[in-house]
Amino acid sequence: MTFLRLAAVVFILGCVTLAWGILGTSIELRTASGYDVLGEQVQELWGAPHYQRAPFAVVSDDGVLLQEVELLESDIEVDLRLEHRRKGLLWYATYEVDFDAYYILQNPLNGRGTATITYRFPSSTVMYDEFEFRVGDVLASPSGGTGQQLVTQVELNRAEQVEIHVAYKSRGLDQWHYSFGDSIATVRSFNLVVNTDFDDFDFPDNTISASEKTPTEDGWSLEWSFNNMVSDADVGVRMPSRLNPGPVASRMSY
């Protein structure tokens, strides 16, 4: 083989390699862009990722704000049912969530006080079926949009306890999170059980792994139990994703 023929072969091989590299990069970028654009449409039609925060409570006396109140107990059960949905040529990990939580709040004052309890929806782009936010015998009626928060007040005697109940059925995408608060929080007598109907779950970055993981007939039972924990991390579950054709074609091109 002459030098010119060898140079031609090397040149052609380099061009083909470059072309495949450009094709792979193009497929990867278009897939990522398409996933984000179509993902916004999926969120509008189905629901966005859920970030459920614990109820926030403060106690006041004669209208003067005195202090934030920690929850004495939290007993939460969540059912996650996964159903992958396709938009265009891309698959999305959509899920249904059944949330049921009971909390105990105690008046820390030496006398009578007014407890103001705030509940924040986990997402503003979804619907909530069978929704209930109840503090003692007071049932809060939702008003405005789901991007807003619900606030209710109850009068409590010295050291009196009150039960808070939050329940709903809703839909989300990709991940489900539970947050103890907006910053470092003290978590007492906390128990959360998440039941899944799928196997290949994961825990999102910067979240606390489940204390116990028990296989069930349909999937897994994940439990978080804390007696007296201080943390600024959340807990959460990431849904398993289905393989999309774009990344496969991209890897084959490289």
d(CA 9, CA 15): 10
Claim to verify: residue 39 and residue 67 sit in the same structural domain: no
Q: How many CA atoms lie within 13 A of 174 on its CB side?
A: 13
Q: Which domain holds residue 201?
A: 49-238
- Amino acid (one-letter) located at 231: S
Confidence at residue 250, expressed as pLDDT on a 0 to 100 scale: 40
Claim to verify: residue 2 and residue 29 sit in the same structural domain: yes
- The residues near 25 (Cβ < 8 Å, ≥ 6 apart) are 250
Claim to verify: residue 37 and residue 55 sit in the same structural domain: no
Claim to verify: residue 3 and residue 124 sit in the same structural domain: no
Claim to verify: residue 21 and residue 68 sit in the same structural domain: no
d(CA 115, CA 61): 9
d(CA 204, CA 40): 20
Confidence at residue 63, expressed as pLDDT on a 0 to 100 scale: 65
Tens of pLDDT, residues 17-71: 555 455 445 545 444 444 455 657 777 778 899 999 999 999 988 767 677 888 9
Claim to verify: residue 28 and residue 53 sit in the same structural domain: no
Q: Residue 82 maps to which CATH number? A: 2.60.40.3680
Q: What is the pTM of this model?
A: 0.80
d(CA 53, CA 37): 27
Q: How many domains does the chain have?
A: 2
Claim to verify: residue 125 and residue 32 sit in the same structural domain: no
Claim to verify: residue 16 and residue 138 sit in the same structural domain: no
CA pseudo-torsion sign 48, 50, 81, 217: positive
d(CA 241, CA 5): 48
Per-residue pLDDT of the chain (254 residues; tens, 9 = 90+): 576 666 665 556 666 555 545 544 554 544 444 445 565 777 777 889 999 999 999 998 876 767 788 899 999 999 999 998 887 678 899 999 999 999 999 998 888 899 999 999 998 777 899 999 999 988 887 665 666 789 899 999 999 999 999 999 999 999 999 999 877 778 999 999 999 999 999 999 999 999 999 999 999 999 999 999 998 899 999 999 877 554 444 444 44
- Amino acid (one-letter) located at 8: A
Q: Which of 167, 162, 208 is nearest to 69 (CA)?
A: 162
